[in-house]
Amino acid sequence: MLAYLESRIEQGSSSVPEKTIVDAVIPPEHPEYRLRPSYRYGLVRLLRRGVINGALDRSGQMHYFLGNGSAELRELISSLSDENNAEAV
């Protein structure tokens, strides 16, 4: 999960939505892996350990980023909603 987030940041994204990260790391042939604790809580563990940071958008979806994130980034993420929620900010 961390490697995927880092690669998206290197490609120019400022943040990546939780759903995008989970969809990318779970093998398509094994959707049942979503129920495994390592996938369900992987991002939460990284967040608690301070490895990554995140902010919620208006719809309640978490967007993850590296570092502390600027006030502008956090404000942009918090202003997103379902109808204008981009793949990644």
Domains and CATH numbers, the chain: 2-84 (1.10.10)
What pLDDT is recorded for position 69? 74
CA proximity to 4, closest of 44, 73, 64, 62? 64
In which band, very low, low, confident or very high, does the pLDDT at 49 lie, cut at 50, 70 and 90? Answer: very high
The lowest-confidence range among 17-26, 32-41, 78-87 is: 78-87
HSE (side-chain half, CA atoms, 13 Å) at 56: 3
The pLDDT of residue 10 is: 93
Mean pLDDT for the stretch of residues 57-85: 80
Mean pLDDT, the chain, rounded, equals 86
pTM value is 0.80
